[in-house]
Amino acid sequence: MTAGIVLVPDPRRSLLLSQAQPSCGSDPMRTARAWAVAFLVIAAAVVAAEAKSKLKTCDKGWECSGSIYCCNETITDYFQVYQFENLFSKRNSPVAHAVGFWDYHSFITAAAVYEPLGFGTTGDKETKMMEIAAFLGHVGSKTSCGYGVATGGPLAWGLCYNHEMSPSQDYCTPNYLYPCAEGASYYGRGALPVYGNYNYGIIGDALNVDLLHHPEYLEQNATIAFQAAIWRWMTPMKKKQPSAHDVLVGNWKPTNNDTLSNRLPGFGLTMNILYADQICGQGYIDPMNNIISHYQYYLDLMGVGRQKSGDNRDCADQVPFNPSYKAATS
Q: Could you read off the pLDDT tens digit of each residue along the chain, which spans 330 residues? A: 433 333 333 333 333 334 444 444 556 555 555 555 555 545 455 444 444 445 789 999 999 999 999 999 999 999 999 999 999 999 999 999 999 999 999 999 999 999 999 999 999 999 999 999 999 999 999 999 988 767 888 999 999 999 999 999 999 999 999 999 999 999 999 999 999 999 999 999 999 999 999 999 999 999 999 999 999 999 999 988 999 999 999 999 999 999 999 999 999 999 999 999 999 999 999 999 999 999 999 999 999 999 999 899 999 999 999 988 654 433
CA distance 285 to 91: 25
Q: Cα 144–194–325 angle (5° rounding)?
A: 105
Q: How far apart are CA 217 and CA 195, in angstroms?
A: 13
Burial class (CB in 10 A: 0-12, 13-18, 19+), 41: middle
pLDDT at 145: 94
CB atoms within 10 A of CB 147: 9
Separation between Cα atoms, residue 214 and residue 231, nearest integer Å = 18
Backbone dihedral region for residue 262 (phi beyond 0: left; psi -120 to 50: alpha; all else: beta)? left
174-181 LR contacts (CB < 8 Å, sep 24+) = 175/201, 177/201, 178/202, 178/212, 181/212, 181/213
pTM across the whole model: 0.83
